[in-house]
Amino acid sequence: MAYVLSPTESTESEIRRVATERLDDAIGLLDGLTGSEPAEIEEAVHKVRKRCKEVRGLARLVRPALGLKFKPFDRAVRDAAATLSSIRDAHAILATFDNLRAAQAGSATTELDEVRIGLAALAADATIQLQQGDTRLAVARALLAVAKEQIDDWTIPSGFSPLGDGLHTTYRDGRKGLRRACNKTTDRRMHEWRKAVKYLWYQIRLLEQAAPSILKPLINRLDDLGDALGDDHDLTVLIERLDRDPHAYGSPKAVKRTRRLAKKQQRELRKRAFRLGETLYVEDDQAFVARIKAYWKTTLKRGEERPAGGITDLIDSAPETRTTADRGLPDVADSGKTIERERKYLVDSQTDPADVGAALGEGIELRQGYLAVDTGVAVRVRDAGPEGCTLTIKAGGGAVRTELEWSIDQAIFDEAWTLTGERRVAKTRYRIPFGEHTIELDVFADALDGLIVAEVEFDSDEAMARFDPPEWFGLDVTDDMRYTNSSLAAHGLDERDAG
């Protein structure tokens, strides 16, 4: 179900394939929501809206070719996503607030907790409404079904031309949006520019196979710009909510401080977004489209890109010697294969951070799920927010284990996450300097709430043997397999002794 067009296939069949696959996935997600838990509902709604945006970006790419058929299709998909916007907005604003709060490392955040209570209540209420059989789910599904039926009526000419016309409009809108936002920076103009940037991101993803070596980095930078503008928009919505009903979010002092921090963060985001935007939109509209068209035609003429270099590089890229990375998968050689030396201790949940020797500061929220858990072997994916996503294989038990780890794209993580089922853990990790070592303090959440574990990694067996744990460490559970993350994900707290 790749969101990419093949230059060597029929343009019309590729457009129809991608549109149909995306809508089928969105409809299937909505059909599977009956009886789901809140977290599952939130994730499914996020994915449905994501599929809607992908389809709208695709339709805009061939908008001139679709003619009068574009608006009814785009309207149906847009309205389907809009029916679910309240839950997305509620949770997005809460997540934005949490990120804003986390950025205030080292400063007092008690006042901000007052604001969070109100935002969390709105997010919870939005989820409960859908969980109780909100009619919006049925409306969204019906609209997507209508849109899917329209795909059969599409007539799209062959070649790059129908793609180039839509790409030209999207790139031009982005350049225009950047100029307007720079000349007079308003929330509305920033939002309009954001939409143009996101549509360009979707469309370059669709065209990536024309020149992966060039377009993949462009896709990544457009994603960065889209994230900055997305956070800027969410901060705008947060400020609007505080202004509209300040009494719902704590004391006037708490609301005023939150608003001030949001405005400050917006200024920084916008400054960086403008700088990156000037780079990404440096080309003339016609020149940009001509370049992408040339990549497309070159692929038709010369075939898909393959690794190039000297003689040894060519030998390494021969079919019989190609690595998994050449086939789009992580290469074992790039995994950073290590022998992990680590000791693990329980920590009393009542431990005062002051007893640790310093305030914990900013933590990183981790969510990790297990694709497979077998005797002595576990395969997991992890989303560590700003630190990126990883795929990890761990083998063995106790203090010394084998660890293979690769960095993966967010899109790969999202697909793999759906396969982890209920084998998941959520926690916040704090890194605490301790002599020559670093303590990783994991505070678990959700079903494992109340569990706190401290881990320390070592460069050698000798360093591990010399380690003298601080007094606030509790029981050493390094050799207790019940406290491995894979066991906790698979079995939860029930498999642990009460003490």
Amino acid in position 375: T
Instruction: Specify the DSSP element, H or E, that contains 174.
Output: helix 161-183
Which two tokens mark 336?
């950073």
The count of C-alpha atoms lying within 13 angstroms of the C-alpha of 250, restricted to the half-sphere facing its C-beta, is 20
Confirm whether 370 is a catalytic residue: yes
* Active-site residue, selected from the candidate residues 281, 370, 430, 483: 370
CB contact burial 170-195 (16+ within 10 A = b; e otherwise): bbbbbbebbebbeeeeebebbbbbbb
User: DSSP strand E in 396-436: where?
Assistant: 400-408, 424-434
By three-state DSSP, how is residue 390 classified? strand
- Report DSSP state, residue 185: -
Structure tokens at 307: 């690794």
Contact indicator for 160, 293 with CB cutoff of 8 Å: yes
Name the phi and psi angles at 492, rounded to 5. Answer: 70, -160
- 108 Cβ contact partners less than 8 Å away, ≥ 6 residues apart: none
Q: What is the spatial distance between Cα 337 and Cα 154, in angstroms, rounded to a whole number?
A: 50
Q: Return the DSSP state at 357.
A: T
How many C-beta neighbours within 10 Å does residue 207 have? 23
In the three-class reduction of DSSP (H, G, I as helix; E, B as strand; rest coil), residue 347 is classed as: coil
Cβ neighbours for 309, distance < 8 A, ≥ 6 positions apart = none
- Neighbour-count burial for 212-241, b at 16+ CB within 10 Å, e otherwise: beebeebbeebbebbebbbbbbbbbbbbeb
- Quickly count: other Cβ atoms within 10 Å of residue 108's Cβ: 8
Q: What is the 8-class DSSP label of residue 448?
A: G
* Strand residues in 385-423 grouped as ranges (E): 389-395, 400-408
The token duo for 115 is 């604001």
Structure tokens at 92: 């997005």
Residues designated as active site: 370
